[in-house]
């Protein structure tokens, strides 16, 4: 039987000599050939990975003991920032830590209802062929934007306004052509167009019959007369907080200060549903932010009972108080943007308006749910505390903590199984 060497030579095409032996020429081989182990040079010691890591660890400990740390405690001052969204603030207030964790993961709180655990029961609007509640809100917001009446200037204005605010426009909230154009623009194809049109007319009638309809028709309400208004008013706001925190990195000699954070800046872009500029009884100008809510719209159309539909009289209903509490931070941010706007006017010597407490317009009843002065001041204070807490948490290490709030990742499911099982 031929040896492996003979088979290898044969594969390389090396023919043996006449005596059956192969002539090997080392210089023609692609590798070095040594005749004796002494030709390999000095002895080499091979160490295992465990030995190398052990020696490295021992040497680092010796270096730490013999070398005194020379870490600079002087760190440069820096500013950090965070973007906030008005409609997410009230959810953030329920658990700032979990809210911040969602923001870091790129998960919006708007989609939590799709991922939260629990039953997936049909909503009231879906049971009667209407689009989802958020779509109903978008459609009616658009109708208000194009159809709300503006009485224009009826007398001398208290504080000057841009012409867009004071330009007179008719009431088109119940106009069939305007309603149809809004539906053509925003109504989903699988929704009942006739049902949605009927609902829009019901809500338009409620708004026109309520305080907003009185004000936009040029009449006095709550000792106020409209001088100008803007629907869907965009705003941009920066809110700065003083903070004392340090950004550090780990070193073998202990934490190393990278920067001293002295200021935290929030940036926010948003849209206020309606801003009313009015003249008060004493002749001074005022400005107020109003947010539209379509809560209970499906119940209004179907004739089903709903707590908001029970409200009547001048007394604030319990369900209306709950709505104010649910959107308190959002209203406070809208008000803060108006306060900053009027303060900027004062700084440059331009006449300014008094910022009135914000309000929610319930489009299903037409009622104006206004905060009091004390409630507005309290909401602004709570907003400042919330932003301070989020800023401090944003600069801390991301420690895992158990939480059972509605924003906790433990209460979210990204995949759901069918509720029906095959027999």
Helices 328-347 and 318-326: angle between axes, nearest 10 degrees: 60
Among candidates 285, 169, 174, 271, which has minimal Cα distance to 226?
285
Give the residue from 111, 81, 121, 407 showing the smallest Cα distance to 266: 81
Q: DSSP H helical segments within 149-235, as ranges?
A: 163-166, 176-186, 193-209, 211-216
Q: For the chain (length 423 residues), average pLDDT per consecutive 10? A: 76 76 71 70 72 84 57 74 90 89 78 48 76 93 96 90 94 96 94 94 96 95 95 94 83 78 92 96 95 95 93 93 96 96 94 96 96 97 94 79 76 51 36
Q: Under a CB-based contact definition with an 8 Å cutoff, are residues 110 and 404 in contact?
A: no
Distance CA 328, CA 94 (A): 12
pLDDT, residue 419, reads 40
C-alpha 81/C-alpha 394 separation (Å) is: 9
> What is the pLDDT at residue 400?
64
Beta bridge partners of 270: 235
> Any idea which residue has 């990742």 for tokens?
409
Cβ atoms of residues 236 and 268 within 8 Å: yes
pLDDT of res. 120: 45
pLDDT score at 68: 54
On whether the CB atoms of residues 144 and 206 are closer than 8 A, the answer is: no
Provide the pLDDT for residue 403. Answer: 80
Instruction: Identify the pLDDT of residue 260.
Output: 86
Nearest to 132, CA basis, from 219, 192, 205: 192
- pLDDT at site 417: 45
User: Looking at residue 60, what is its pLDDT?
Assistant: 73
């Amino acid at each position: 039987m031929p040896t492996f060497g003979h088979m290898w030579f044969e594969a390389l095409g090396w023919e043996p000599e006449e005596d059956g032996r192969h002539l090997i020429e080392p210089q023609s081989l692609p590798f070095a050939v040594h005749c004796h182990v002494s030709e390999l040079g000095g002895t080499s010691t091979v160490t295992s990975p465990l030995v190398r890591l052990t020696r490295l660890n021992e040497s680092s400990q010796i270096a730490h003991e013999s070398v005194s740390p020379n870490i600079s405690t002087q760190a440069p001052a820096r500013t950090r920032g965070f973007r906030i969204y008005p409609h997410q603030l009230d959810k953030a207030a329920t658990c700032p830590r979990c809210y911040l964790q969602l923001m870091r993961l790129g998960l919006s709180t708007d989609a939590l209802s799709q991922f939260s655990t629990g039953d997936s029961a049909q909503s009231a609007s879906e049971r009667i062929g209407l689009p989802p509640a958020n779509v109903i809100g978008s459609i009616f917001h658009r109708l208000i934007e194009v159809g709300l009446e503006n009485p224009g200037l009826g007398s001398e204005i208290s504080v000057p306004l841009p012409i867009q605010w004071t330009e007179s426009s008719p009431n088109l909230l119940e106009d069939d052509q305007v309603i149809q154009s809004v539906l053509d623009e925003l109504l989903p194809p699988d929704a009942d167009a006739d049902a949605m049109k009927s609902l829009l007319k019901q809500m338009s009638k409620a708004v026109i019959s309520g305080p907003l309809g009185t004000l936009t028709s040029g009449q006095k309400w709550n000792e106020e007369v409209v001088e100008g208004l803007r629907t869907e008013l965009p705003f941009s706001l920066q809110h700065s907080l003083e903070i004392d925190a340090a950004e550090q990195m780990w070193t073998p000699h202990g934490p190393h200060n990278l920067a001293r954070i002295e200021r935290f800046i929030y940036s926010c872009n948003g849209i206020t549903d309606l801003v009313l500029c009015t003249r008060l009884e004493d002749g001074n100008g005022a400005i107020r932010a109003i947010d539209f809510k379509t809560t209970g719209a499906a119940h209004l159309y179907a004739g089903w009972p709903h707590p908001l539909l029970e409200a009547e009289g001048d007394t604030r209903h319990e369900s209306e108080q709950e709505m104010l509490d649910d959107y308190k931070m959002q209203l406070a941010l809208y008000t803060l943007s108006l306060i900053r706007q009027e303060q900027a006017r004062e700084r440059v010597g331009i006449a300014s308006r008094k910022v009135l407490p914000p309000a929610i317009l319930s489009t299903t009843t037409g009622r104006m749910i206004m905060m009091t002065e004390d409630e507005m001041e309290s909401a602004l204070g709570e907003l400042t505390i919330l932003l301070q807490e989020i800023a401090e948490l944003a600069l801390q290490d991301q420690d895992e903590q158990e939480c059972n709030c509605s924003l906790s990742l433990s209460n979210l499911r990204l995949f759901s199984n069918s509720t029906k099982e095959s027999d």
